[in-house]
């Protein structure tokens, strides 16, 4: 099956700094990528949808200036958490499909962010 | 907007036994997809099974099968011959097949069910 990677798998940063998370599709072209946030033992919450070459579409309640998403190529999307605060600590997961309506999305392994 | 509800926060089963996880959903659409995902302690999301709404036949994948009741908007997952490796959090998910809708392509997840398998 198709493989999606995320880097880093874990990151610790200080409050007020920014951190970038990468999501890569390794063996297919990902026209669309999705970013999720997950708290322990809770469900995945969709943050935004990014399409290659266009601006991301954010879900209601997600601060677009705080969570910057860039999808500059068909294999790479990045999520930058700006001016991070302890409440931003969470597990971030990306998924990718080869089209908006792709029958299957492929999930990355996730990134655990801890803000101290 | 579509909603997905998993009413069982936790379930347990003895190894080799059968367990059924419940899922209901709400939608006004007629064409959509339903999924069950498994999230083990590694937290990697793994697709277990997929059902197209237009298909009446219930999907099966080895020991995993679904009971899809479209009129009742119910989509339960049956795990037969449970194994220790089945222990995980299971999520039911909905995806619209309406290309003109704002939710097209997005997955809506239920709250999840933690499955424990006892040896």
**pLDDT in the model for residue A72:** 84
For the residues B17-28, what does the mean pLDDT come to?
97
Number of C-alpha atoms within 13 angstroms, CB side, residue A37?
A: 15
Number of C-alpha atoms within 13 angstroms, CB side, residue A29?
A: 7
* Residue whose entry in the numeric block shows the structure tokens 């880093």: A8
Phi/psi for B16 (5° steps) reads 80, -10
pLDDT, tens digit, for every residue of B46-84?
A: 999 999 999 989 999 999 999 999 999 999 999 999 999
- Nearest-by-Cβ selection for B44 from A32, A38, A109: A109
Residues in chain B closer than 8 A to A43 (CB atoms):
91, 109-112
Please give the DSSP secondary-structure letter assigned to residue A54: S
Structure tokens at A80: 């930058």
Do B44 and B53 touch, CB atoms closer than 8 A?
A: no
> Which helix (H) or strand (E) element contains residue A33?
strand A32-38
**pLDDT in the model for residue B101:** 67
Query: Does the distance separating the beta carbons of A32 and B44 come in below 8 Å?
Result: no
A49 in B contact zone (CB under 8 Å): yes
Q: Measured between alpha carbons, how far is B76 from B98 in angstroms, rounded to an integer?
A: 23
Residues sharing a CB contact under 8 Å with residue B15, sequence separation 6 or more, in sequence order: B82, B83, B84, B117, B118, B119
Residues in chain B closer than 8 A to A34 (CB atoms):
105-107
Helix (H, G, I), strand (E, B) or coil at A22: strand
A95 in B contact zone (CB under 8 Å): yes
From first to last of its 116 residues, chain A has per-residue pLDDT tens of 789 999 999 999 999 999 999 999 999 999 889 999 999 999 999 999 998 888 899 999 999 999 999 998 999 999 999 999 999 999 999 999 877 666 788 999 999 999 99
């Amino acid at each position: 099956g198709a493989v999606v990677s995320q880097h880093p798998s874990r990151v610790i940063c200080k409050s007020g700094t920014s951190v970038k998370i990468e999501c890569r599709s390794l063996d297919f072209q990902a026209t669309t990528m999705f970013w999720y946030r997950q708290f322990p033992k809770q469900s995945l919450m969709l943050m935004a949808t990014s399409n290659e070459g266009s601006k991301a579409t954010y879900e209601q309640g997600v601060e677009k200036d705080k969570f910057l998403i860039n999808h500059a190529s068909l294999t790479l999307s990045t999520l930058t958490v700006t001016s991070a605060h302890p409440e931003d600590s969470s597990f971030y997961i990306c998924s990718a499909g080869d089209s908006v309506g792709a029958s299957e999305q492929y999930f990355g392994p996730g990134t655990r962010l801890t803000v101290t | 907007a579509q909603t997905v509800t998993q009413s069982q926060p936790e379930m347990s089963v003895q190894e080799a036994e059968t367990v059924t996880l419940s899922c209901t959903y709400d939608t006004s659409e007629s064409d959509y997809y339903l999924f069950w995902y498994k999230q083990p302690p590694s937290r990697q999301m793994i697709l277990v099974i997929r059902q197209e709404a237009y298909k009446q036949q219930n999907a099966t994948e080895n020991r995993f099968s679904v009971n899809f009741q479209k009129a009742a908007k119910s989509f339960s997952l049956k795990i037969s011959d449970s194994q220790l490796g089945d222990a995980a959090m299971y999520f039911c998910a909905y995806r619209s097949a309406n290309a003109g809708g704002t939710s097209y392509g997005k997955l809506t997840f239920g709250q999840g069910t933690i499955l424990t398998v006892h040896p």
